[in-house]
Amino acid sequence: MADALLIDCDPGIDDMIALLVACAGPELDLVGVSTVGGNAGLARTTRNARAVLALAGRADIPVAAGAARPLVRSSTGFGAHVHGEDGLGGIDLPTPPGGPDPRHGAAFLADSIRAASRPVTLVAIGPLTNIALLYATFPDAAARLARLVVMGGSVGTGNITRAAEFNIWWDPEAAHRVLTDPGVEVPTTQVTLDLTLRCTLPDAAVARLRAGGPVGARCADALDFYGRAYREQGSGDVTPVHDAIAVLAALRPELIRSRPARVLVDTTTGAERGATTVEAGRAGPVAVADDGDVPALLDEVVRRLSRLDR
Ligand code: RIB
Ligand code: CA
């Protein structure tokens, strides 16, 4: 039996791609999903996570809603400018029957880790609020994690501001807790914008997905919206599948290149708020993954999405 995988997310179009890539397995077995506000409000990201899992035929995977707001300071707004008001580019996936797990996302993660009879990897692809709450409230459970993979931060420039990447910017205090001062020993990989911005699906790949079946067609529709949003904000003809790369860092770590670093997060209220930096010349507890085999990673994304339409 494969090791267990938990995902904390804020779907979000690239979160949708990431969840579907995770469902295509087989290296890790997705056993639970928690949600956080970010790309859209919490009710939306939770609904979207359940709808995306149902699209993959995995409505059996429990989803628990976590934090709606950052720990300390509320950022202004969500990611609607990139992901649409509904968070999924208006593709309007059907809502599966039933509802989310009644537990708070952080408690759900803790219970899922404690209940696991095999190693658990947690992949965080939204703001880190739930992970910080897990570390602060349930350190015994957090300490049992085999690995944490985070999509967030950058070594170079940001995307939501010149300095900061969106997931970190939305809750910098949470990111400080998780990346700089965790209080628990969890092998952590930080997949940064420096790699993920290079991971954009070519039009031909999106066309192949569209022709492949219902799952690929919904992904193509969402990616069309995503690409238009990036073009309209002057970012060029790109559809960076940030979150899917973080999931692949857990499924296929050999495709990612990282180096040990001590990561610092700017938690001031100035222009650099949410920026992540690595202390020069110092190894540290976090493996910063700012490079990888981009063609192979993109092939893996398309191959796994296509597998869901077979
Ligand atoms: O900066 C990219 C990250 O912010 C991704 O997780 C995307 O979904 C948004 O949440
Ligand atoms: Ca996300």
Closest Cα partner for 198 from 228, 232, 155, 229?
155
Nearest bound ligand to the CA of residue 9: 2
How far, in Å, from the CA of 281 to the mean position of ligand 2?
30
What would the pLDDT profile of 20-38 be if each residue is shown by its tens digit? 999 998 999 999 999 999 9
pLDDT in tens, 193-203: 999 999 999 99
The predicted pLDDT at position 74 comes to 84
What backbone torsions phi and psi does residue 254 show, to the nearest 5 degrees?
Answer: -70, -15
CA of 58 to the centre of ligand 1 (A): 23
Q: How far is CA 159 from the centre of its chain?
A: 15
Q: What is the mean pLDDT of residues 87-111?
A: 96
Q: Kindly give, in sequence order, each residue whose CB lies less than 8 Å from that of residue 190, ignoring residues fewer than 6 positions away.
A: 150, 152, 153, 179, 263, 276, 286, 287, 288, 289
For residue 281, pLDDT over 90 is answered with: no
pTM of the model: 0.98
Out of 131-140, 224-233, 261-270, which region has the weakest mean confidence (pLDDT)? 224-233
159 CB near ligand 1 (under 6 Å): yes
On the 0-12 / 13-18 / 19+ scale of CB atoms within 10 A, 237 is exposed
Q: Is 38 in the pocket of ligand 1 (CB under 6 A)?
A: yes
pLDDT value for 282: 80
DSSP string, the chain: -PEEEEEEE---HHHHHHHHHHHT-SSEEEEEEEE-SSSS-HHHHHHHHHHHHHHTT-TTS-EEE--SS-SSS--S--SHHHH-TTSSTT--PPPPSS--BSS-HHHHHHHHHHH-SS-EEEEE-S-SHHHHHHHHH-HHHHTT-SEEEEE---SS--SSSSS--HHHHH-HHHHIIIII--SS---EEEE-HHHHTT-B--HHHHHHHHHH-HHHHHHHHHHHHHHHHHHHTT--S--B-HHHHHHHHHH-GGGEEEEEE-EEE--SSSTTTT-EEE-TT---SEEEEEEE-HHHHHHHHHHHHHHTT-
- Whether the ω angle into residue 12 lies within 30 degrees of 0, i.e. cis, is yes
Please give the Cα distance from 112 to 107 (Å, whole number).
Answer: 8
Total structural domains within the chain: 1
**8 Cβ closer than 6 Å to some ligand 1 atom:** no
Q: Is 251 in the pocket of ligand 1 (CB under 6 A)?
A: no
Mutate to test the pocket of ligand 1, among 242, 245, 247, 290 (most ligand atoms within 8 A of CB): 242
pLDDT value at residue 287: 96
Model pLDDT for residues 131-146, shown as the tens digit of each residue:
999 999 999 999 999 9
Please identify every residue whose CB atom is under 5 Å from ligand 2, which is an ion. Answer: 10, 12, 15, 125-126, 243
Which residue range(s) make up the domain with 167?
A: 3-307
95 or 10, greater pLDDT: 10
Once rounded to an integer, what is the mean pLDDT over residues 39-63?
Answer: 97
Ligand 1 within 6 A of CB of 83? no
Query: Active site residue: 81, 83, 104, 242, which one?
Result: 242
Per-residue confidence (pLDDT) for residue 310, from 0 to 100? 87
The confidence score (pLDDT) of residue 275 equals 98
pLDDT given for residue 158 in this prediction: 94
Dist. CA 2 → ligand 1 center (Å): 27
**Separation of CA 102 and ligand 2 centre (Å):** 22
Does the pLDDT at position 156 exceed 90?
Answer: no
Q: What is the mean pLDDT of residues 288-305?
A: 97
165 in ligand 1 pocket by Cβ < 6 Å?
A: yes
Do 239 and 201 form a contact (C-beta atoms < 8 A)? yes
Any idea what the CATH number is for the domain that residue 198 is in?
3.90.245.10
Among the atoms of ligand 1, which is closest to the Cα of residue 13? 8
Q: Please compute the mean of the pLDDT values over residues 65-88 and round it to a whole number.
A: 88
User: 253 is written with which tokens?
Assistant: 């770590």
Q: Specify whether the CB–CB gap between 242 and 193 falls below 8 A.
A: yes
In the chain, how long is the greatest CA-to-CA distance?
52
195: nearest Cα among 152, 252, 147, 138: 152
- Whether 229 contacts 81, CB under 8 Å: yes
Is 83 noted as a catalytic residue in this protein? no
CA distances in angstroms from 245 to 100, 193, 242, 283, listed in the order given: 26, 10, 6, 23
Which among 58, 52, 43, 9 is positioned nearest to 215, based on CA atoms? Answer: 52
What is the model's pLDDT at position 236?
87
Is 242 near ligand 1, meaning CB less than 6 Å away?
Answer: yes
